[in-house]
A and B are shown apart, each in its own frame.
Chain A
Amino acid sequence: MTVDSTSTVADPPPPPGPPAAPPRAAPSHAARWSAIAVGVVLVGLMAVFVAGLGGDSDGPITASPLDGRAAPELAGTGLDGGTVDLTHYRGSWVVVNFFATWCPPCVQEHPELISFSSRHQAAGDAVLLSVVFNDETANVASFFAAQGGTWPVLVDDDGSAAVGWAVTGVPESVLVAPNGIVVGKIKGGVTADALDGIINDLERQADGG
């Protein structure tokens, strides 16, 4: 049983508010100053965002669970029937590109891969290694015949390479440094310029530090 003592005490109307003080004795600028303060903070925040957007423009490289570790084993039969082995390319940057012919962004990035490959073919400082992801070997062979591209292509029949390399979807390109350490990956399609930019940045960092 709840009895509110106030219900009887407060029966007469409550006393009026504070005695008639002049409501706006001194003009206050609280709202203005608050707005200015908030505005300044937000301008700073937006500068940070702009920096964040700019920083990402030279390549959408993201962290990979393999970062900093030795590249997992990657060897097997190539598209041409020969052997493909990642360890043969120690000393060069390797872009391990997981792709499939049924994936539109993979088809779209292919010309970029061709130009990246041809840029570095002479110097040999960077190579491409494509891994077929969940696709028929015949489809891939006819795709390369039609579109071009002469770099090694590994057939990954059981998907073990994709699992070992923590691939979450195609296309995905994992970047392996000349010392055989994974340094990051790019989800989605790449461009030749973006790949070069990332590699140059990483080389500069390695030189500087």
Chain B
Amino acid sequence: MNRVLGNAGVALGLAASVLGFVTVVVALVQRRHDRIRIARSYAALVLGGAVLAVVAMQRALITRDFTLAYVADNGSSLTPPLFNVATMWAALEGSILLWVLVLAGYLAITVVKFRHRLDDRLLGVAVAVQLAVCIFFFGLLLGPANPFRSFSPPIGYDGPGPNPLLQNHPLMAFHPPMLYLGYVGFTVPFSFAIGALVTGRVGEGWLVATRRWTLIAWGFLTVGVIAGAWWSYEVLCWAGYWAWDPVENASFLPWLTGTAYLHSVMVQERRGMLRVWNLSLLCATFSLTILGTFLTRSGVIESVHAFSSGSVGPLLLGFFALVVVVTVGLIGWRGDLLRSPGRIDSPLSREGAFMVNNLAFAAFAFVVLLGTVFPLVLEALSDRRVSVGGQYFDRMTLPIAVLLLFLMAVAPVLPWRKASAETLRTRLLVPAWVGAGALVVAVAIGARGFAPLVCFTLAGFAGGSALRQLVLAGRRQGWRGLVGRTNGGMVVHLGVVLLAVAYAASASYSHDAEFTLAPGESASLGGHTVTFLGTTTEERPEKQAIVASIQIDGGDVYRPSLNRFRQAGQLIGEPSVRPSVIDDVYLTLLDPPDETGAATIRVVIEPLVSWLWVGGAVMAFGTLLALFPGQRRRRPTDAVSAPVPRPVLAEPDVSPARPEPVEVS
């Protein structure tokens, strides 16, 4: 029953994608643009097929229908409800199903949002591109990644359940969907970029629409990446949150190019420049999502959390090749015609800063990509197996990150076109004081070391710059000053500052020790005292847990544990963390107690880690603010002499009352 429903859903989705694609392409070729409207019905069918397949899979998981091989391999009667739902994305086939659902959802929203402009040629191309992507992923579901294969279970069969690591923490139900909403969301701006390249229309309102879609996808990806880091911190016993693992890099790469786009698109809006560069960034972002999927799903790269299944690898690589051929070909063919004539007047200007920003992000992405694929390249050339350690990434990315922090401080105060030294001096005064203050405070509370101190200073500088902008906007417009792209962006910057401080502090100043303690014994580390109270053994349906009770600083009791999952039989530790604003105390139980009851525990003191999660939340909040339309910028033809009540506070670069001449291309 579930198998039939699921296969029917996949088949429906694939058929609707193919028919819709053919219809739209024929309409485009014959220039019967009114026919593109039919895409709406096809989009509805594609979404219907995806929803049907997902409902069938969820139903099978909930009813423990072990006649589905996917449920037999990954489900279990012992899995708690939340993780049972999340089992859908615990293995390769189900994760592609989630991908397809999100993709179909974005397609449906695209055709609904632009329903009045569906006879536009550019939109037709965009819809055709999205349908083509749908064809590929539905095809995967029907072929090598079919989640609805059958299995004949023996009587009394019960499955092993998802990987025990995936059923330890509620974030597992949250992190993959967020990540996919981001990852797959980049399909929409990519499709519009292809539309612009094919039709040769790079200006107009498409830019604004594309920017907003990119922002939505970027916001989800940000939340997804940080939720993944948090999950890893709370679940894996290594007291870290980022290891430059290929899977992490795969999610980080499109984030980098997407971030670059979100900045450089403003240069295009204000100055009409960088058009082809922006389209290229969108294409690169989408290609990197496919490349990342290939790297993590094909088994070419070993990673702690890559899915292992070789059969989808060649198909994903083929799809990546197709995307590259189409985009690189289109840019090579049309790019020179679409490039804008404008040039930058002065490097010391907002657009100059955005250019440096883009170079830095591109370099960042290149460094991460190189480190990720280098083992493969070396193996192909010399048959040697190496792994690129975190040190490479830390060393290579540190200077770029420092440059980006510096730009974050300076760029928001730079006016467009050209800045004078006087402008910079007055506007950077407050941020510079904040930066100096951050340095003084950091040294006063005992922070040492060149790199972290540089980072704290620049973070203060950048934070001061963002705060200054927000205060000015708030004074001028009240709470409305927070809404809109520029100021939402400043809120995002504040979140990034928190992340930078947290990363620098936790990477530089964390320390750890292992103690073997008898019940009642205490140990001290980094100004904290831990007291081991003893262990208990708890029996739960899905696992047996050896739980240690450890009192921190004479206060609350925390319980790290060792869990033996019944079905998989693995012994997996679960850390316990006491979070605080200043430092986290991270406890893991390393060994079960011996005959005397003494157990070995590991204690890690991690300064400022909780700032990461706060920073992530601030970034998400800022993205939301940036999505709302701010006060409309006036058109160039509007009267310039609009009333400006307090001219002293008006600032040319943000004031809505001050139009910039817009280059009409």
Chain A residues near B640: list those with CB within 8 A: 13
In angstroms, Cα B163 to Cα A10, docked, is: 63
Residues of B in contact, count (CB < 8 Å):
69
Chain B residues near A133: list those with CB within 8 A: 569
For the complex formed, measure the closest distance between the CB of B237 and the CB atoms of chain A, giving whole angstroms. 15
In angstroms, Cα B339 to Cα A36, docked, is: 17
Residue contact A17 to B345, C-beta cutoff 8 Å: yes
Residue contact A49 to B376, C-beta cutoff 8 Å: yes
Residues of A in contact, count (CB < 8 Å):
57
* B335 on interface, CB distance cutoff 8 Å: yes
List A residues 1-27 near B (Cβ within 8 Å).
2-8, 10, 13-14, 16-18, 23-24, 27
Residue contact B308 to A57, C-beta cutoff 8 Å: no
Residue contact A6 to B420, C-beta cutoff 8 Å: yes
Q: Residue on A with the closest CB to B651?
A: A4
* A202 on interface, CB distance cutoff 8 Å: no
Chain A residues near B536: list those with CB within 8 A: none
Residue contact B341 to A7, C-beta cutoff 8 Å: no
- State whether A42 and B342 are in contact (beta carbons under 8 Å apart), knowing that A30-B336, A32-B332, A35-B331 are contacts in the complex: no
Residue contact A16 to B380, C-beta cutoff 8 Å: no
Q: Residue on A with the closest CB to B321?
A: A46
Q: Residue on A with the closest CB to B423?
A: A6
Q: Residue on A with the closest CB to B314?
A: A53
Residue contact B422 to A6, C-beta cutoff 8 Å: yes
Interface string of B647-665 (1 = CB under 8 A from A): 1111110000000110100
List A residues 39-73 near B (Cβ within 8 Å).
39, 42, 45-53, 55-57, 60, 62-63
Partner pick for A53 among B73, B313, B429, B569, CB 8 A cutoff: B313
* A206 on interface, CB distance cutoff 8 Å: no
Partner pick for A39 among B328, B339, B342, B648, CB 8 A cutoff: B328
Interface with A: B12-20, B38-46, B108-116, B294-302, which one? B294-302
Residue contact A169 to B570, C-beta cutoff 8 Å: yes
Partner pick for A57 among B294, B310, B647, CB 8 A cutoff: B310
In angstroms, Cα B101 to Cα A107, docked, is: 32
List A residues 132-171 near B (Cβ within 8 Å).
133-134, 159, 162-163, 168-170
Residue contact A18 to B321, C-beta cutoff 8 Å: no
* B635 on interface, CB distance cutoff 8 Å: no
Q: Residue on B with the closest CB to A35?
A: B332
Chain B residues near A169: list those with CB within 8 A: 160, 163, 568, 570
Interface with B: A81-89, A97-105, A110-118, which one? A97-105
- State whether A18 and B343 are in contact (beta carbons under 8 Å apart), knowing that A7-B651, A42-B328, A133-B569 are contacts in the complex: yes
Residue contact A2 to B570, C-beta cutoff 8 Å: no
* B373 on interface, CB distance cutoff 8 Å: yes
Partner pick for B299 among A45, A60, A134, CB 8 A cutoff: A60
For the complex formed, measure the closest distance between the CB of B179 and the CB atoms of chain A, giving whole angstroms. 22
In angstroms, Cα B343 to Cα A50, docked, is: 41
Partner pick for A48 among B69, B373, B566, CB 8 A cutoff: B373
Interface string of B148-167 (1 = CB under 8 A from A): 00010000011110010000
- State whether A56 and B426 are in contact (beta carbons under 8 Å apart), knowing that A30-B336, A39-B324, A39-B328 are contacts in the complex: no
Residue contact A62 to B73, C-beta cutoff 8 Å: no
In angstroms, Cα B339 to Cα A32, docked, is: 11
* B379 on interface, CB distance cutoff 8 Å: yes
* A31 on interface, CB distance cutoff 8 Å: yes
Residue contact B379 to A31, C-beta cutoff 8 Å: no
Partner pick for B430 among A2, A38, A188, CB 8 A cutoff: A2
Residue contact A50 to B317, C-beta cutoff 8 Å: yes
Partner pick for A60 among B310, B345, B660, CB 8 A cutoff: B310
* A187 on interface, CB distance cutoff 8 Å: yes
- State whether A6 and B321 are in contact (beta carbons under 8 Å apart), knowing that A31-B276, A35-B335 are contacts in the complex: no
Residue contact A23 to B332, C-beta cutoff 8 Å: no
- State whether A30 and B339 are in contact (beta carbons under 8 Å apart), knowing that A46-B320, A102-B160 are contacts in the complex: yes
Residue contact B335 to A31, C-beta cutoff 8 Å: yes
In angstroms, Cα B566 to Cα A41, docked, is: 49
Partner pick for A4 among B652, B660, B661, CB 8 A cutoff: B652
- State whether A3 and B426 are in contact (beta carbons under 8 Å apart), knowing that A49-B300, A53-B300 are contacts in the complex: yes
For the complex formed, measure the closest distance between the CB of B66 and the CB atoms of chain A, giving whole angstroms. 9
Partner pick for A38 among B276, B328, B468, B651, CB 8 A cutoff: B328
Residue contact B468 to A4, C-beta cutoff 8 Å: no
* B427 on interface, CB distance cutoff 8 Å: yes
For the complex formed, measure the closest distance between the CB of B241 and the CB atoms of chain A, giving whole angstroms. 22
Q: Residue on B with the closest CB to A98?
A: B569
Chain B residues near A32: list those with CB within 8 A: 332-333, 335-336
For the complex formed, measure the closest distance between the CB of B318 and the CB atoms of chain A, giving whole angstroms. 10
Partner pick for A6 among B163, B430, B652, CB 8 A cutoff: B652
Residue contact B567 to A102, C-beta cutoff 8 Å: yes
Residue contact A42 to B324, C-beta cutoff 8 Å: yes
* B454 on interface, CB distance cutoff 8 Å: no
Q: Residue on B with the closest CB to A53?
A: B313
Residue contact B294 to A49, C-beta cutoff 8 Å: yes
List B residues 160-210 near A (Cβ within 8 Å).
160, 163
Residue contact B332 to A4, C-beta cutoff 8 Å: no
- State whether A5 and B423 are in contact (beta carbons under 8 Å apart), knowing that A52-B300, A57-B310, A102-B160 are contacts in the complex: yes
Q: Residue on B with the closest CB to A143?
A: B154
Chain B residues near A62: list those with CB within 8 A: 302
Chain B residues near A162: list those with CB within 8 A: 569
For the complex formed, measure the closest distance between the CB of B525 and the CB atoms of chain A, giving whole angstroms. 28
Chain A residues near B651: list those with CB within 8 A: 4, 7
For the complex formed, measure the closest distance between the CB of B550 and the CB atoms of chain A, giving whole angstroms. 24
Chain B residues near A3: list those with CB within 8 A: 426, 648
In angstroms, Cα B336 to Cα A35, docked, is: 10
Interface string of B336-376 (1 = CB under 8 A from A): 10110111010000000000000000000000000001001
Q: Residue on B with the closest CB to A55?
A: B379
18 CB contacts below 8 A, A to B, read A2-B468, A4-B423, A6-B415, A10-B415, A17-B663, A30-B336, A30-B339, A31-B339, A32-B332, A48-B380, A49-B300, A49-B376, A50-B317, A52-B300, A63-B302, A105-B73, A133-B569, A187-B308
Q: Which residue numbers of B lie inside 8 Å of A, CB to CB?
A: 69, 72-73, 151, 157-160, 163, 276, 294, 298-302, 308, 310, 313-314, 317, 320-321, 324, 328-329, 331-333, 335-336, 338-339, 341-343, 345, 373, 376-377, 379-380, 415, 417, 420, 422-423, 426-427, 429-430, 468, 472, 566-571, 640, 647-652, 660-661, 663
- Across the A-B interface, give the 6 residue pairs with the lowest CB-CB distance, nearest first: A31-B335, A23-B341, A35-B332, A134-B569, A52-B300, A51-B380
Apart from A6-B652, A53-B314, 20 more pairs, CB < 8 Å: A4-B650, A7-B647, A13-B661, A16-B661, A18-B345, A31-B336, A39-B328, A42-B324, A42-B328, A46-B317, A48-B376, A49-B317, A52-B380, A53-B317, A62-B302, A102-B567, A105-B73, A134-B566, A169-B568, A187-B308
Q: Which residue numbers of A lie inside 8 Å of B, CB to CB?
A: 2-8, 10, 13-14, 16-18, 23-24, 27-32, 34-36, 38-39, 42, 45-53, 55-57, 60, 62-63, 100, 102-105, 133-134, 159, 162-163, 168-170, 187-188
